[in-house]
Copies of this chain bind each other. A is one copy, B any other.
Amino acid sequence: MMAQPTKTAFTGDRPIGVFDSGVGGFTVARAISRAMPHESIVYIGDTARCPYGTRGVEEVRAFVAQVGTWLVRQRVKVIVIACNTATASALGLAQRMFDVPVIGVIGPGARAAVLATRTREIGVLATDLTIASGAYLRAIKNLDAGVGVHGCATQRFVELVESRLAGGIGADAQWLDGADLFDTPEVRALVRRETEPLRGLDIDAVVLGCTHFPLLVRPIRAVLGRGVHVVSSAEETMRELHEMLACQGHLAPSTARPEHRFATTSENTSAFAEAGRFIFGSRLVDVEHVGIDELSRLASDRQIRTRRL
């Protein structure tokens, strides 16, 4: 009676758009590709303007509008903002702006932690800016006002991962669950020092509130111990995405062969390709360069429909 067929046309064969300020979002793309092997992904890293964390909120909102517009132009069926800073600053803006659904990385991780905690005390490991934004605190308290939230700013984890990736990881190196390049005694010692503020608080669930952190999941699990449930926002975002696509009948058909595309705003496409291959787990063929000037032009294009701005 009410639904218009034109708006509900099947779009399962379109790709999933994934967007990060850099390469951290590949952990989310990896989770999607492993759990939904028939889905095609268009991944764009705004590497030329990375990191977003040191920028102002308005600037980040403008970047999200630009990159989101580019993804809509690629005819994606959904946009995943695989970046905590961008989610905290601009998720609502993107949801109001675009016709396709937009999913962020904060809500799914917050929900998983609330469902998992028995002690009702949750820790959040994230960058300084994500912790300072209070986005996880709000998301968790919104779901359960009685849960204690203990933020732990661990900027050094990002620096560790970034420097390791920038230093070159070797053409054959691969990040595998369980056998982790990053799991060294030095890293475990760093994790132990950085997570010190979470001790003695009866915490039994910890959210990895940065898309880089799944790379450190092994040393983090080892240090926190068996009694602590470690929530990967990459995995939880993938689950939320899957549930949504399944509910809407927008999953790719099981006969589909995935075609991934990768793009970066950086001119150094080979560094992006190397880090991407390492995290995503397969070679990135033909990384596209998308200029920032092109993104700016797109965003001023009136043809992109804005919903409720």
A202 B4 Cβ-Cβ under 8 A: yes
Quick one: which of A179-225 are within 8 Å of B by CB?
198-204, 223-225
Complex contacts, A107 vs chain B, CB 8 Å: 143
Given A118-B7, A118-B248: A225 in contact with B144 (beta carbons within 8 A)? no
B96-A146 in contact (CB<8A): yes
Given A3-B227, A227-B8, CB of A145 within 8 Å of CB of B91:
yes
A249 to chain B: closest residue by CB = B118
Q: Which residues of B contact A95 (CB under 8 A)?
A: 144-147
A interface, by DSSP: helix, strand, loop or mixed? loop
Residue contact A1 to B227, C-beta cutoff 8 Å: yes
- A228 interface residue per 8 A CB criterion: yes
Q: Is A261 an interface residue (CB 8 A)?
A: no
Is B228 a contact partner of A2 (Cβ separation < 8 A)? Answer: yes
Which 7 A-B pairs give the minimum distances between C-beta atoms? Answer: A95-B146, A3-B227, A1-B225, A92-B145, A3-B204, A95-B145, A115-B247
108-128 of chain A: CB within 8 A of chain B: 112, 115-120, 123
Residues B2 and A204 in contact, CB atoms below 8 Å apart:
yes
